Amino acid sequence: MTQKPLDENMAAAEPVLEEAEDYSFLPIIHDIIKCMDKDGPDVHQELNKLKTKLQEAREQISAMPGVDTSPALQESNLRSLREQVRTKNQLLQKYKSLCMFDIPKPS
């Protein structure tokens, strides 16, 4: 059985897991494997936890704003919006400060 290398691999991945524990499924999988090793009655409970977490993750992803586009496209849209705002501000500033009744002097 390759349980020992399995545990070693899980341990190696743990430091990385600690940083983003909210989005990682490895702790739950680790718990499931542990329960399986111990032949405990909590295996099904842990399996249900994994299933629930997967479902919650899917719902969370569906509800997240701004993920309907790729980062590059979103960045491009952001640049475009900033440019629009800048251009329109300039236009408004130009027309508000423009005196419509300046008569050019004959040269």
Partner 1 sequence: MNTTDNILLRAIVYCGPSANRRHCLTLASACYFSRMRKRGETVMAAAAAEKSTKEKLLSTLDDIEVLSRELIEMLALSRTQKLPQPGEDTDILELLVQRDKEFQELMQTAVEQGKVHQEMQALEKEVEKRDSDIQQLQKQLKEAEHILATAVYQAKEKLKSIEKARKGSISSEEIIKYAHRISASNAVCAPLNWVPGDPRRPYPTDLEMRSGILGNMSNMPTNGVNGHLPGDALAAGRLPDILTPQYPWQSADVSMGILPPHHGNDFGLEPPGHNKENEDDVEAMSTDSSSSSSDSD
**Distance, first Cα to last Cα, the chain:** 99
When the beta carbons of 22 and 102 are compared against partner 1, the nearer one is 22
Measured from the CB of residue 45, what is the shortest distance to partner 1 in angstroms?
Answer: 14
In angstroms, the CA 25 to CA 45 distance is 15
Measured from the CB of residue 64, what is the shortest distance to partner 1 in angstroms?
Answer: 5
When the beta carbons of 103 and 107 are compared against partner 1, the nearer one is 103
Angle, alpha carbons 53-73-88 (nearest 5°): 125
In angstroms, the CA 83 to CA 97 distance is 21
Measured from the CB of residue 99, what is the shortest distance to partner 1 in angstroms?
Answer: 13
| Residues contributing to the site for partner 1 (CB under 8 A) | 1-2, 5-6, 9-10, 13, 16, 20, 22-26, 29, 32-33, 36, 47, 50, 54, 57-58, 61-62, 64-75, 77-78, 81-82, 84-85, 88-89, 91-92, 95-96, 100
CA distances from 103 to 50, 100, 106 (A): 78, 9, 9
